[in-house]
Structure formats: C-alpha cells, structure tokens
Amino acid sequence: MDPWSKAWEKAVAGAVAVVDCSEEIPCNPCEQACRMGAIVVGDDICAPPRFEPDLCNGCGRCVSLCPGMAVFLLDRSAGAGKVRVTVPYEMREELQGGGEAWAMDGEGKPLGKGKIVKTAKMGRGEKTVLVTIEVPEEWALKVRGVRNRVMTLGEPYELDEYEEEEKCYLCRCEEVTDSYVRELAKVGFHALRALRRFSRVGLGYCQGRFCQAMLREEFCAVTSREPEEAGTFKVRPPIRPVKISRLGGEDV
Ligand code: SF4
Ligand code: SF4
C-alpha cells in the first residue's frame, strides 16, 4: 500500500502526518523533526522525503518545522462526514479555537469555511501555529492552509499598521516580506513579472513553487486585478537544484 493510502486508513484512529512533498530541493527539516523515524530524506538532501505512516504518532513536529508547508495531519476519527486537518499558520492575524477559518487548497484558493477545533504551538518561542480545522471529508486531502479571511477585489487594503520587526516573509528563499511586495505593487509595479524581477520573489531556490500563489494574491489584492489578468511567471531552468559536479559532466 502506498503511504497516502496507509495514512488514509490510519487516520480513522486519530491524527497521522501526510507528506505532500515531491520537489527535489535541498531540504530535510521534516527528517530532523521526526523522532519516530517516520520521515527519511537520507544522504541525498535533494531527494523527496520517504514517509512511513505506520511509524507516525501524530505529534505534529514535522508540520511545524517543514518550511514548505508540505506536511499536514489528517484525523478521520470524528466521523459523520467530517475530518480534521492540522496545518501550519504563520499570518499575523490570530485564529481562535471555536471560531471559523477559510480552508485553502495548495494553490491558495479557498475551499470554504471550516470550524477551528484547536490551535497550538510546538515549543516555547515557536512562532508557527498549528491550526486544526474540521472540514467536510471531501476536502480531506485538499486543505493545505487556513486564513481568517479571503481578500475580495476592491476591499480596502491596510498597509500602514505593519511593523517591520514583525517580519512576515512571503518569499523565504530571498527573504522578501509581504509588506515590501505590497508597497512595490502600490507604487506602480503593475505587472507580476516586473514585481518578481524587482523584488526577487520566486528567484530563489524554490523558483516560485512555494511563493508564486501568495505573490499573485498580494498583487491582485493591491491592484484590484483578477488572478487570470495577473498571469503567471515562467520557472527558468534548471528547474531543480543540480550538483555542480553534474554540470561538470560527472555522472554522480
Ligand atoms: S507527526 Fe510526528 S511522528 Fe508523525 S511524521 Fe511528523 S514528526 Fe514524525
Ligand atoms: S519541504 Fe517539508 S516535507 Fe519537503 S523536504 Fe523540506 S521539510 Fe521535508
């Protein structure tokens, strides 16, 4: 049985991690996080993680530490057509247990609202919040994030309350904050590609895999454009990190 099917079966009894990471990028915090040996990247740090749900105890450390937001917890024990999904949340606005939040898919599109079952942090000083949201079972494998609201076109966008010491990174590879991107869009970078080139969002290791959807959302919110109008930007080769030795002709 493949790991996803195993996780789906195991989730009937309670929370289990699901790893949705197929990118060949130099990354392994998930392996470091897991004390049960359920996630293994191995010596080739660019290899996608291998995942064994049978070893997982549902602790959530990997969800908290994965920088790509590529791991979530799935819990099907509630039954009645509902599942609980736990995802990382790093926005400034607080979410409270008992309230509601928007469940977002992997492309940053809203699936609909769900009930927040609980919020938690894994350790002292940890800023990532784990949010457990209850949603219809058909969204079980689609939810990748939560938001307290979804921007609508024409909605006033507050820029002045942002304090730089509370940095919120939109692009982690190039360390570009969301407020910087909004300022650029506001002052006249009215093409997504120009905004990308100037800000360097999407030009780092991940090549926009993790940040392009967020950049488009911020851009559309500030410039009152539809996502289709904003377009997408091309990922330039090499589309995956490669070893220098391979470029030099060595077959390793
Ligand atoms: S939830 Fe805990 S036990 Fe399961 S894979 Fe993640 S770190 Fe390992
Ligand atoms: S992005 Fe997340 S799941 Fe993928 S290798 Fe990095 S830490 Fe692991």
The DSSP result for 67-129, as a single string, is TT--EEEEEEEEETTEEEEEEEE--SS---TTSEEEEE-TTS-EEEEEEEEEEE-SSTT--PE
Check whether residue 143 and residue 160 sit in a common domain. Answer: no
Q: SS3 for 48?
A: coil
Structure-token match 């590879």, residue found: 173
Check whether residue 53 and residue 117 sit in a common domain. Answer: yes
Check whether residue 79 and residue 164 sit in a common domain. Answer: no
Ligand number nearest to the C-alpha of 73: 1
Domain boundary among 127, 147, 167: 147
- The verdict on the CB of residue 30 being under 6 Å from ligand 2 is yes
Check whether residue 59 and residue 121 sit in a common domain. Answer: yes
H helices then E strands: how many in the chain? Answer: 8, 11
Share of the chain above pLDDT 90, in %: 31
The tokens describing 165, both together, are 């010491």
Give the structural domain span for 189. 151-252
User: Where is mean pLDDT largest: 76-90, 123-137, 147-161?
Assistant: 76-90
> Ligand 2 mean position to 69 CA, how many Å?
8
Total domains, the chain = 2
Over residues 79-107, mean pLDDT: 84
Q: Does the pLDDT at position 252 exceed 70?
A: no
Over residues 231-237, mean pLDDT: 70
The residue among 221, 23, 243, 211 whose CA lies nearest residue 107 is 211
Instruction: Give the atom of ligand 2 at the shortest distance from the alpha carbon of 65.
Output: 7
Q: SS3 for 174?
A: coil
CA distance 177 to 169: 4
> Ligand 2 mean position to 176 CA, how many Å?
20
Peptide bond into 238 cis (omega under 30): yes
Q: Does the pLDDT at position 99 exceed 50?
A: yes
Over residues 11-15, mean pLDDT: 95
Check whether residue 159 and residue 246 sit in a common domain. Answer: yes
- The verdict on the CB of residue 101 being under 6 Å from ligand 1 is no
Query: 138 pLDDT band (50/70/90 cuts)?
Result: very high
The tokens describing 20, both together, are 């949705």
Check whether residue 108 and residue 16 sit in a common domain. Answer: yes
Domain boundary among 118, 147, 176: 147
Range in 21-25, 155-159, 189-193, 217-221 with the lowest mean pLDDT: 155-159
Write the DSSP symbol of residue 234: P
- The verdict on the CB of residue 36 being under 6 Å from ligand 1 is yes
pLDDT given for residue 235 in this prediction? 65
10 Å Cβ neighbour count for 49? 23
- The verdict on the CB of residue 14 being under 6 Å from ligand 1 is no
The tokens describing 163, both together, are 């304090």
Check whether residue 186 and residue 137 sit in a common domain. Answer: no
> Ligand 2 mean position to 121 CA, how many Å?
19
Check whether residue 193 and residue 171 sit in a common domain. Answer: yes
- The verdict on the CB of residue 151 being under 6 Å from ligand 1 is no
Check whether residue 13 and residue 59 sit in a common domain. Answer: yes
Report the amino acid identity of residue 123: G
Check whether residue 116 and residue 10 sit in a common domain. Answer: yes
Check whether residue 134 and residue 198 sit in a common domain. Answer: no
Domain boundary among 147, 175, 197: 147
* Residue 34 half-sphere exposure toward CB, CA atoms < 13 A: 28
CA angle 208, 220, 206 (to 5 degrees): 5
pLDDT given for residue 193 in this prediction? 76
Instruction: Give the atom of ligand 1 at the shortest distance from the alpha carbon of 71.
Output: 6
> Ligand 1 mean position to 34 CA, how many Å?
5
Q: Which helix (H) or strand (E) holds 19?
A: strand 16-19
> Ligand 2 mean position to 22 CA, how many Å?
9
Which CATH number belongs to the domain containing residue 227 in this structure? 1.10.10.1100
CA 155 to chain centroid, in Å, comes to: 24
Check whether residue 143 and residue 187 sit in a common domain. Answer: no
User: Where is mean pLDDT largest: 52-61, 201-210, 231-240?
Assistant: 52-61
Q: Does the pLDDT at position 151 exceed 90?
A: no
